[in-house]
Structure formats: C-alpha cells, structure tokens
Amino acid sequence: MSSDGGVGHPADDTTSFVLQPPSPNAVPQPPAVPTQGTGRLIAGRYRLLAKLGHGGMGTVWRAKDEMVDREVAVKEPRVPDHLPERERANAFERMRREARAAARLDHPAVVDVHDVAVVDGRPWIVMELVHGRSLGGALQEGTLDAREAARIGLQVLGALEAAHAAGVLHRDVKPDNVLLGRYDRVVLTDFGIAQIEGETNLTDTGGFVGSPEYIAPERVLGQRPGPASDLWSLGVVLYTATEGVSPFRRSNTPATLQSVLNAAPAAPAAARGPLSEAINGLLHKDPARRPTAAQVRALLETAANPQAPEPTQRVQVTAPATRSPRRLGRKAWLGAGAAVVAAAVAGYLLLADPFAGPLPDGWAKRTDAKLGVTLAVPAAYQPGHPEKDDTDKNWVSYTDWSGSIAIVVHLARRSDDSQHEILSNATAQMLDDNEKFRNEGAYELDMPKGAKTDPDKNATYHGRAAARNTVVYTTDDSQNPRPRELQIFYYRTKSGDLYKLTVSYPGKGDFTARGRDVAKAAIANLDIKKP
C-alpha cells in the first residue's frame, strides 16, 4: 500500500482525479500527517502512525509492527454504523476476501498480505508498505510517455496473469489501485471486490461493483466477467496514462456507463505503434475479440523497448466502431411502441453473472395485468408505456438505456378487431407480416422493402402452435443506415387474441450476440395468463 496518501477515492466516484498536461514546476505531495487515531495499538502489535488515505471500503494507516520492528500498511474497515447487521457482515467478509485473494498470489506486482487482525469482530488487513504513490496521483501532474506506460502496463499485466491463473478476477483495475514504488516497482493493490473462483458472490450494497469508467461493457450488461474484463480495464488505464484524458468518463454515472457501451474513443495520439495496437485491441467492446494476455505482453514489451524486434505475429485490431444510441419513435415496433428512458444509477447495481438459474442472473419478471402477460427482462431495462394520445394502448416495452436492445410485447384483441386483421393462426400472421416486410417494409421501424426473413413455422407455446421469425434489414436512414435484426414470436390464444413478442437489436457489432441471447431468454420465458 502506498505511503504517500494515494490510496484512492471511493469506488463510485467517476471524477476521482483530474488529468493535467505535464508541468515542469509540479510540486511533490507532502508526506502524510498524523491524524486522530495515531498511536492506537491493533491486535497487540500494530501501532498506527499516520493515515495514508481512504477508499470506499476502508482507511489505510502507516503502522509499525512492534513484534518484528518493521513498518506496514494496515487497512481499517470503514462501514457506516447505520447499515443493517447483515450488510455490515457482508462488508467485513469482502475485506476477508481481499486478504485471501491477495495472499494466494505470489507475484512481485501484487502487494503482500502479512496478517488479518480481527478486532471487535472487524478484520484489519496488514500488508506490506509500498513507499511511493499511486498512478492516479502521478497522473495529476501529467501524462506518461509511451515507454513508461508500457513498462507499468507490463507489470500490471503480470499481476493480472498471476491472479487469473489462481482463479481470481480483480474487477477494479484503475490508476488509484496501481502503486508506483521504489526501484521502478509497480504494484497492483486493492482486491476488495475481487471475485474468487468457487466462492459465493456477495451483493454489493449501495454502489457499483467497480469504478464505472473502468468497467468492461460485458459487466455493465450483466454478463459473466472473465480475464478479458480485467484486460479491458488495463486498456482504459493505458489510454488514460498516455492521452491525458479518461476515454469514457462523463459528468455522471449513467452517462459514463453509456459511453462504455457505445462510445469509441479517439485513436491514441501519444501512444503509437505497438502500444496503440494494444490499447485499441483491449478496448474492443466484444471480449472475444480482445487480444490475449500473451499477445498484449508481446506488444507492450516492444513498446517498452523500441530497439527490440517487433513480435512476429502482430495483433490485428481496429478501433471500436462508434455507436450512437438510437431513439425510437412513439409509433414503433409494429404498432407497439418503445420509449428510451434515461437510466437511474440504482438500476445498475446488479452486475452479476448470467444464466445461473431458471432466469439469467440479473433478470427479473415483469407482469402487466392489463395485457395479461409476464415478461422476463434484464432487471436494469427501462419500461415504456403508451402515451396519453396513443391510439394503441395494448403494448409495453423494456429497453436497455443505450437504446440498442428493446423487448416489446403487443396484444391485438379479438374483441377490437373490426378490420379482421387477426388471421386464423400464428403462422398465417407471420407469413402476412413477411410479405409486408419484403414488399413494403415497415415505416415505424425505418425498414425499407426487401428485408430478409427466416420464418419458423414449427414453434410451439405450451404445446399449441406458434410461430417465430427472424428479420434482417438495413434502416433507410440516408445519413446513417444501420443493420438491424428482429426476432418476433407470434401466438394466437384460444380466444383469438394475438400476442407478438418482438426483440430488436443491432444486426452487426458488439450488441448482436447479446441481443440474440436476450431474445432467446425473453421468448423462452414468456408467460401469457390465458393461453
């Protein structure tokens, strides 16, 4: 743990440091000064000397281990007194896991954990004292050149490789958690929210699991994180260190998360060649398309030592494509409609592993009594309903706040079908729509004629005939045409009412696979009250 007061800031602070251009007159930070609590003896051996800093889960002290006469860093739990006992217990368990996660790793770039002292039921983590400051503190004085950034990146990468080999995901790689010690040592610290393979997840209370601008897109979407998620965060750190600006930081947390999902940062200017290749590859929205740790290592080694020969196998990467959120019209989704609603911070606290039960983890069931239907949707998706002047009231939508993916259910009631638009069965209804898609398009969806369809006439619902269709098209937007894909599930009830469940998502890019997964789960879990 750093001895300069650069331990960091609360994990949910999206403006934890302000980057400035290099300054030749930068004044080093003064050493930590004694504060209240100095002199206290912990567990009969650790004497608190001075406060070094604080983060979201604890206060870190410089202390002396009087038993062996050496200075150490001691992390004191910080848990608000008003928290319920269960949440306090969870916070303490997270600190124990931090100690276990770091202690099981044997790597020079991982801070050593010496002891966990339990005082009044609270775990105090005793670790080595790293004399230096955090990378976040260093970046307040200016950016790093490409060679230094690559050197630091290599050591952080080594720590992550050791962690991943031991079944540990760090999940909060950011400049404040990278310590710059003596003799060019670099240390990755703060495993407070690490995920240890085989251990039960703990629900985070009142904040994000990680710092928003460094969270990988798949974690924002609630997908299962993996080593590639930590590597994404390393890419953000390298970009920030060299470019002097954090690529995804915005003025508030929802906007920051939206930029993580959709924004493409400008190509690195200061970082060129292999370092630029590494950053571009690590910031690919699709984790499957990011370079492996070995490929990143080869690029960073070349960047850190320009005289060395470049890797024989270059990593072919491209900058992530810019994706502007699309706002859907009020009369969209085949007459159903979908509203894009700005996200509230509280809607994004469930960043959990998916597909761990009857529903994907992080999903919820939403019942609309008026339509007589229960939908399974990602819990963070925002609901949309008909507006007052809508003539069609028989729909409800759920949209991810970026506007990329939407789930809409529409009910055509037999009692209201004076124009006889409801056909005799679901397959007939699907084939009728197919003709419209191919020959007329769909104005509400910006769909020109000529869409490609892939009908499934053999679909069933509770043993009765249903239909399912996949529609692929390119929007007719002359300025920015985009590939789109729909999956539509048709079901006609015994009473003659027609339900259409439509899931729409980008036809190409990072969200396509996610959209297909959402469609699969939403259709499989559709529950109609009177089938």
**pLDDT tens, 212-237?**
899 999 988 888 889 999 999 999 99
Q: Please name which of 207, 212, 286, 272 lies closest in space to residue 238, comparing C-alpha atoms.
A: 272
Helix (H) or strand (E) holding 160: helix 146-165
Q: Which residues are CB-neighbours of 320 under 8 A, at least 6 positions away?
A: 264, 265, 280, 283, 284, 285, 510
Active-site residue among 4, 65, 172, 204?
172
DSSP state, residue 442:
B
What pLDDT score was predicted for residue 175?
94
Q: Phi and psi at residue 135, in whole multiples of 5°?
A: -60, -35
Q: Catalytic site residue 4?
A: no
What pLDDT score was predicted for residue 182?
87
CATH of 40-128, one of 3.10.20.30, 3.30.200.20, 3.40.50.11540, 3.30.70.260: 3.30.200.20
State the span(s) of the chain assigned CATH 3.30.200.20.
40-128
- 3-state secondary structure (DSSP) of residue 422: coil
Q: Please name which of 59, 65, 55, 76 lies closest in space to residue 10, comparing C-alpha atoms.
A: 55
Determine contact, residues 519/501, Cβ cutoff 8 Å.
Answer: no
Flag the least confident range among 64-73, 116-125, 431-440: 116-125
CA distances from residue 315 to 155, 304, 341, 447 in whole angstroms, order as listed? 20, 17, 39, 37
Q: Which CATH architecture has domain 363-528?
A: 3-Layer(aba) Sandwich (3.40)
Token pair of 145 as six digits: 């050149």
State the span(s) of the chain assigned CATH 1.10.510.10.
132-198+207-304
Question: Tens digit of pLDDT for each residue in 13-47?
Answer: 332 322 333 333 333 333 443 445 568 899 899 99
Query: What 3 state SS string does 300-339 have?
Result: HHHHHCCCCCCCCCCCCCCCCCCCCCCCCCCCCCCCCCCC
> What's the pLDDT band for 125 if we cut at 50, 70, 90?
confident
Q: Which amino acid is at 171?
A: R
Q: Residues at the annotated binding site?
A: 75
Q: What is the pTM of this model?
A: 0.51
Q: Which residues of 469-481 are buried (b: 16+ CB within 10 A; e: fewer)?
A: bebebbbeeeeee
**What number is the average pLDDT over the span 430-456?**
87
Q: Which CATH architecture has domain 132-198+207-304?
A: Orthogonal Bundle (1.10)
Beta strands 70-77 and 113-119: pairing type? unpaired
Q: Which amino acid is at 26?
A: A
> What's the pLDDT band for 83 if we cut at 50, 70, 90?
low
